Amino acid sequence: MTFAVTNIIRNHPYILVFTILNFSLMETTQSKSHLKAVVQQITNNTTSWIGHFTGETKNRISGQTFICPAAGSLDHIEVFSSHVTNDGPVELTIHLFNAETKAWGAVIGTSKVDFNKNNTGRWISFPLNGLQLQKGIAYAFRLKSETGLVGVGEAVGSLNHLPYTGGQEWAASSDDQRGSFYTYLSLAFKVEMRA
């Protein structure tokens, strides 16, 4: 392939441009055609912190619950990185979730992404390719970092104006793994699936 491309570059530069563009368009159409954000909350008006603040021994953990509105193959979950104070890996775990008892099920998927200061103000994708989600089932994901300190965008609402009605934000620390659930808070997140 490299030899053929080199010959095209020398002999027909316009054919190379056309071939690359044609390949790129076909690749985009085939690989991205069925990718869709089936659940999202994109408002970001405050910050939920994960990781360690200077001088603290506890680790702050954040999470979000949601009900999946369609069956399909999970491609990734995105969160909005509002600030990165200390670089480090962030781990996302996704779980089955019992919304009535607020009980976390076993981990059904894990993804780890290195965060750095260049990630501030960007949507960050946690790949979870191939995990099958079911319509109408409650799921939840947790975000934690053992070495970093990352601000994840979140929305704060009020009693009459909830930021996300399909689930709740969850916050905990390494000192209290049970944590607390908040109806008036929601992480800024997207669940992207292939239907």
At 77, which CATH number?
A: 2.60.120
Token duo for residue 164: 């996300």
Structure confidence at residue 179 (pLDDT) = 95
Structure confidence at residue 43 (pLDDT) = 96
Residues 27 and 56 placed together within one structural domain of the fold: no
Domain that holds residue 14: 2-32
Structure confidence at residue 13 (pLDDT) = 45
Closest CA to 120 of 92, 147, 149, 94: 149
Residues 111 and 16 placed together within one structural domain of the fold: no
Closest CA to 90 of 37, 25, 149: 149
Structure confidence at residue 195 (pLDDT) = 67
Residues 16 and 68 placed together within one structural domain of the fold: no
Amino acid at 143: L
Please give the residue that has the higher pLDDT: either 109 or 19: 109
Residues 11 and 73 placed together within one structural domain of the fold: no
Average pLDDT, rounded, for the chain: 86
Residues 7 and 72 placed together within one structural domain of the fold: no
Structure confidence at residue 10 (pLDDT) = 41
pLDDT tens digit sequence for 144-160: 999 999 999 999 999 88
Residues 78 and 11 placed together within one structural domain of the fold: no
pLDDT tens digit sequence for 37-63: 999 999 999 999 999 888 888 899 999
Residues 27 and 86 placed together within one structural domain of the fold: no
Residues 7 and 44 placed together within one structural domain of the fold: no
Residues 24 and 82 placed together within one structural domain of the fold: no
Residues 86 and 146 placed together within one structural domain of the fold: yes
| β-sheet bridge partners, residue 88 | 115
pLDDT over 70 percentage in the chain: 83
Residues 9 and 72 placed together within one structural domain of the fold: no
Residues 57 and 151 placed together within one structural domain of the fold: yes
Confidence check: pLDDT of 2 > 80: no
pTM given for the model: 0.81
Structure confidence at residue 175 (pLDDT) = 81
pLDDT tens digit sequence for 76-95: 999 999 999 999 999 999 99
Structural domain total, the chain: 2
